[in-house]
A and B are shown apart, each in its own frame.
Chain A
Amino acid sequence: MVAMPDLLPALPELFLACAGMLLLMIGVFRGEGSLRLVSWLAVGALLVTGVLLVLGPTERTVTFSGLFVSDSFAVFAKLLVLTATALTIILSQRYLETEQLARFEYPVLLVFATLGMMGMISANDLIALYVGLELQSLSLYVIAAFKRDFAKSSEAGLKYFVLGALSSGMLLYGASLVYGFAGTTNFDALAALFAAGETPAVGVIVGMVFVAAGLAFKISAVPFHMWTPDVYEGAPTSVTAFFAVAPKIAAITLFIRVLVDPFGDLLAQWQQVIWFCAVASMILGSLAAIQQSNIKRLMAYSSIGHIGYALVGLAAGTEAGVRGVLIYMAIYLAMNVGTFAIILSMRVQGRMVEEIRDLSGLSKSHPMMALAMAIFMWSMAGVPPAAGFFGKFYVFMAAVDAGLIVLAVIGVITSVVSCYYYLRIIKVMYFDDLTEPLERPSRAASLVIAGTALFTFPVFFIFSNAILTGAATAAASLFQ
């Protein structure tokens, strides 16, 4: 008979799955008004999962007959995803309560989405990749339409669902072609097959491009970005905050693993695809954001641009490039969670506002919040002492070392262009007249804003070593 699989490498996932189902039960039996309890329990469960991850095995272990892999690359990315989800749950509470969305399913669905992301990050097989991706996507479709009585939210959910199903179809088609021509879905076996050095069949390359297209949709890289602004604008703001961070980190980690691990020896075949996606995303992200007046749409275009910069590191295809992407995503997490904490605090006389001009005069009514927002914007634009500069620095360095000088030059030019709209927000906050003051942010939101702002500016600058070495170990574990 078959031996019991080694469960230890997957212990964090198993714990989170059980915790998710337990939270569901607690919510069902306590009924209405259990959002607060379930939310804090969910945050606790995510914390315990993080601790289990850190204490777990650090060397590469494969279990479940090769479907699941745990290495320091996975641990690093999973810690980022867990942090993003926990912060989003904390930030969401007040928003959900004031918008009459206080239902306990929200944190439960976020926990299941996180579980799906952890499955994606640890996938070592095309089948495991697909089930992880679907678990994540299905939860996201539901929470996008969570404000079900509003047409915009339902529209966002439906749009995301239809386009997401299309991308899943492309991914599956590609996976079936790879399976048909290579005879296996396992990443290790695929890597061994391509390492043999023979030119792969056309079918494998077509299949790989289809898989890459499906994944590019999930990280909303241009030309697969059309859904992003509409979904970001339509979904409830707390959901947008989640969409902008955790799924992006998980999907780009999965993207890296798929391209570097099984298809690593086909670098010449996929480098041009990633090159194009990176350039197109950077250009669109910096140009299309200029004329946006809604801050959620602006953040959507900004996230498309950021994904472009992260793809620059992947296009390099080297260990330094992967390290750059991981550092970039860690900084991206802090900047975006902080910015969305401020957007979630944009309330005037009891209603949410989301236009950029609503921020006018923020420096007079809430000087600290305006300062934090200014730090995030400087950082996103990539202006030196802020953390965002270092993120861009490492990916561009990797690209130059890999000989992709044109790519790096385009990246620098587009980030100068994107300064325009980031700095416009600072101008609105500091030089425009105050119209209506915003309400006081909740205590949780203030803490998150202060923490992420401090991380973005002085803390990362001084204590960057821990993250740099963590990312370096993670990237090295992928290239063993």
Chain B
Amino acid sequence: MTHISEEDLVLLYYDEPGVAQDIRKHVAACGECAAAARKLARELDMCNEWSVPEPDPQLGRSVWAQIAPQLEESQSHRFRWLKIASACAVMATLLIAAFVAGQASRHPRPSLTAGLSRQARERILAISLADHLDRAEMLLTEISNVGESDASEMSDDRSRAQDLVEEGRIMRQTLARQGDSSTLALLDEVERFMLEVANSPAKLTPVEMRQLRERIGSGSLLFKVRIIESNLRNEGQKS
């Protein structure tokens, strides 16, 4: 009687596709091969005792922070021609703009915020931020409330998320000058979530939708957005 080879037992242990049915039947029927399979399994199961340390939950973020400054260089070769063309277009636009500005400077218009006090400008920023967070909250709430079994159409959500990413960046730049770290951290968190939505497929399966909802819940994102939005709204309404 021919017994099963060690190689086939290994394939059987790993449940590799393509292991012939008669090999499985043989192992089930033959005491010697069944014992060999059990012994192999016990030995290989020992390897599972070697555990991997849990990576930092923020690993993706820290890796990104490390590599982001280096990415520009590697892309620059591929897009050099595009950059040159863009630079020429920008230069031409600037020349035209300079000409038009020169004409207009004979009758200068004051900027919208010129003459406003620092306090007034801060109130305007607070209200703008609160509006931005309000829009983010609406999208987060909608995603949180999608039915369990529905496959979800994301086309509209993706474009809204992309708008929020771009809007959020302008807010962050303005806010960075004031050094409000807690609101900045929240804007960063919102941006990362919105990037995920903006880069999701047009239709999400219920499982993918659940993963998105879990992301909102795990970091209490919606809760934080509501709190900061409310604070900003109060700040903006102070007379």
The judgment on whether A and B are partners is no
Chain A positions near chain B (C-beta within 8 angstroms): none
Chain B positions near chain A (C-beta within 8 angstroms): none
